[in-house]
A and B are shown apart, each in its own frame.
Chain A
Amino acid sequence: MRFSTSLRELIGKRDFYAGGLMLLLGLGIAVKGSTYRGGTLMHMGPGFLPTALGIILVLLGIAIAAASLAGDGDGDSHGQSILPEQPQWWAWFCILMSPVAFIFFGRYFGMAPGTFACVFIAALGDKTASWKGTTILASVVTVFGVSLFSYFLQVPMPILTWRGEF
């Protein structure tokens, strides 16, 4: 029990994580950037600006996190959980998988199967989705989309193929 309350407290500190993420990102940018040639101020190398940006981002991250710890945050930052009230893990998964399905089916089977899979998987994320309704929606979008993009706009992607290009 104690664990769960402290966990809640932790994810309640939204700005702390916001600052932390910026700090890590900035650190990554700066470290990677310092491997490129920095050059002098007069003749700047490719690494100069990104490294500087990384350092600025680290400082901003520290400022954001410090403000949240000092209780001097946004005013709205406290009691703000990172997760929304009803986390939609399944829906989020579906939305992110939809482009992946488009890539896979589009690459190996063509535009029509890619479109169908993309819409079908995305639509499954809605909590009221039914197999029938989802299939109908995906079919309609496939017919409409393929005719628009393949015939009208001439996007060079085969409509139907079998393990086309590897």
Chain B
Amino acid sequence: MTDSNMHAAGTTMTRATRYGIASLALYFLLYFFEDSVLEFTSRGGWYFIAPVVIAFVFSYFHGAFTSYFWDTLGIKAKK
């Protein structure tokens, strides 16, 4: 049982790291291409799709990261 708990903890940590790196990469891209991204997403009209897609992509990677992050710290829901 102890082994399986340690294994689960290890898996959570690995996933947190993987999604954390992906999330960090996305924010770096946003920082480095700030002006271009802002200009592209604020064109209006059919370009409305750009902020929506960006929001979905960020929420997928960063959402998974934050979930695993609290799991790694042992902060979990009451069963």
B is bound to A: no
